[in-house]
Amino acid sequence: MKLAHLADLHLGFRQFHRQTPEGINQREADVALAFRRALQDVVACRPDLIVIAGDLFHSVRPPNGAILEAFVQLSRLRAALPDCPVLIIAGNHDTPRSVEAGSILKLFEEISGVVVATREIRWVSLERLDASVALVPHAALAGGVRPELVPAGGSGRQILVAHGEIAGVLPGDRSSLEYGGVVLEPKDLHLDRWTYVALGHYHVAHRVAPNAWYSGSLEYVSPNPWGELRDEAKEGRAGKGWLLVALEDAVRVEFRPVPLARRLIDLEPIDGKGREAEEISLLIRQRVERVPGGIAGQVVRQVVYNVPRLVARELDHAMIREYKSAALHYHLDVRRPPPRREVGVGAPGRSARLEEIVADFLRKRVLPPGMDRRRFLELAAEYLAEVEREAVEVGSD
């Protein structure tokens, strides 16, 4: 039996302000293109079962174009593979907060052979494949009393599809992890009782156990794509894709890459300590000129550390505007050096930075139940950094 495992498609994702000639946000179009390319590859591989482990859409109320794209592509998928069921669960992004609010995912059950689970666990028996599938959407895990994630009985292949973070198994600093997902302990999965566990929520393909995997996303659609690049490097895997899983005597997993519309380029950081604006500008230009194929149409970041505000204002902003015009998005991330002050009598000391003061305040703040404090602090730091960057750019005009 062959299973196609996809997750975190995030159709309707929008970013930056560039549009296609048709007036569609360019990143939304990129995400739709990755979806189409992935499904073309799925059809070519001819699996027996397809699972989508959450976050088909980027939001509870996706744009009409994203809904149409999903309906058309899933209909074509079923027409090309009429004997292959498509099973979908709702992730945290496409789950309404209110129980009374309907889920757009129910629309896709109008397509023959598509089964959707939006709030409760749903069991699907596939007699032809000698398999039973537990579809566990985000809402089923985010409620007060969590269900026990064990097979419902019977013989044959037992497959679990779930969306959330498995505590303690993900690489990196968690900054690339989406906010708002449920956290599960590895023991909650009862891995020894399942033939295969298809996971969604983490956007980098990752092996949790020989029979449990995150497939990762099909595009860079998280608030911190640069963290995803670091995590992919740690995995020894570049880019996005889906998983083709063979469920025979042993589980065999093949990562199937999906060609993307454009690259994410994280340029080598620059330490600006002790450098004049002219020298820093030259280093920025050298970094860009060394990019194979250039930065036209790409998403690019250049981090520059230890740059005082006055030096940042003297950078070659005409050159920077040129890069912003050429790239889909060029992000110059200028970071100021930590301030210092005198403490006591002649004793050099370090003053508390604004982000440290804010973080200290937020650590003590009472948060709503279920809110991830660590991610809350990370978002605060990201917003402060963005304000600082905007202040530098405004001062340069």
Name the one residue in this structure whose structure tokens are 């999906």. Answer: 258
- Pick from 2, 1, 13: which is nearest to 217 by CA? 13
Say which residue, 350 or 253, is predicted with more confidence: 253
Task: Check: CB of residue 232 under 8 Å from CB of residue 240.
Answer: no
Same domain, 135 and 174: yes
Residues 194 and 279 placed together within one structural domain of the fold: no
Name the β-bridge partners of 133. 124, 159
Q: Between residues 57 and 168, which one has the greater pLDDT?
A: 57
Residue 206's CATH number: 3.60.21.10
Q: Residue 297: pLDDT above 60?
A: yes
Same domain, 233 and 294: no
Are 204 and 268 within one domain? no
Provide φ and ψ at 31, rounded to 5°: -65, -40
Residue located via tokens 């730091």: 381
Q: Can you give the pLDDT at residue 138?
A: 94
Domain identity same for 305 and 389 = yes
Confidence label for 175 from pLDDT (cuts 50, 70 and 90): low
Q: Model's pTM, two decimal places? A: 0.84
CA–CA separation, 135 and 116 (whole Å): 8
Domain finish residue from 217, 232, 257: 257
Which range marks the domain in which residue 221 is found? 2-257
**pLDDT score at 395:** 43
The Cα–Cα gap between 130 and 153 comes to: 13
Q: Which residues contact 352 (CB under 8 A, 6 or more apart)?
A: 360
Q: Which residues contact 293 (CB under 8 A, 6 or more apart)?
A: none
Give the mean pLDDT of 373-385. 75
231, 257, 283 - which closes a domain = 257
Mean pLDDT of 89-98: 88
Is the pLDDT at 390 greater than 90? The verdict is no
**C-alpha Rg value of the chain to the nearest Å:** 23
Confidence check: pLDDT of 346 > 60: no
Report, as an integer, the average pLDDT of 372-397. 64
Domain check: are 7 and 80 in the same one?
yes
Q: Are residues 268 and 253 in the same domain?
A: no
pLDDT score, position 388: 60
- Region at 46 (left for phi over 0; alpha for psi -120 to 50; beta for the rest): left
Number of domains in the chain: 2
Domain match, 156 and 285 both: no
Cβ contacts of residue 5 below 8 Å, gap of 6+? 51, 53, 198, 213, 215, 242, 243, 244, 245
Question: Tokens 């930590």 correspond to what residue?
Answer: 338
Q: Are residues 160 and 284 in the same domain?
A: no
The percentage of residues in the chain with a pLDDT greater than 70, rounded to a whole number, is 89
Mark whether 192 and 305 lie in a shared domain.
no
Positive or negative, the CA dihedral 262, 30, 85, 205 is positive
Alpha-helical regions (H) of the chain: 26-45, 64-80, 138-142, 225-235, 277-289, 309-313, 317-326, 354-364, 373-396
Q: What pLDDT sits at residue 345? A: 47
Q: How confident is the model at residue 170 (pLDDT cuts 50, 70, 90)?
A: confident
Per-residue pLDDT of 3-50, as tens digits, reads 999 999 999 999 998 999 999 999 999 999 999 999 999 999 999 999
Under the phi-then-psi rule, with left for phi > 0, alpha for psi from -120 to 50, and beta for the rest, what region is 235?
Answer: alpha
Task: Give long-range contacts, CB 8 A cutoff, 24+ apart: 378-387.
Answer: 378/174, 378/175, 379/179, 379/223, 380/355, 381/355, 382/223, 382/224, 384/354, 384/355, 384/358, 385/333, 385/335, 385/355
Q: Which of 257, 288, 313 is the last residue of a domain?
A: 257
* Residue 359 or residue 178, greater confidence: 359
Question: Which range has the worst mean pLDDT, 57-71, 141-155, 255-269?
Answer: 141-155
For 315-339, the pLDDT digits (tens) are 999 999 999 999 999 999 999 998 7
3-state DSSP assignment of residue 140 = helix
More confident site: 237 or 171: 237
Report helix, strand and coil shares of the chain as percent, to nearest 5: 35, 25, 40
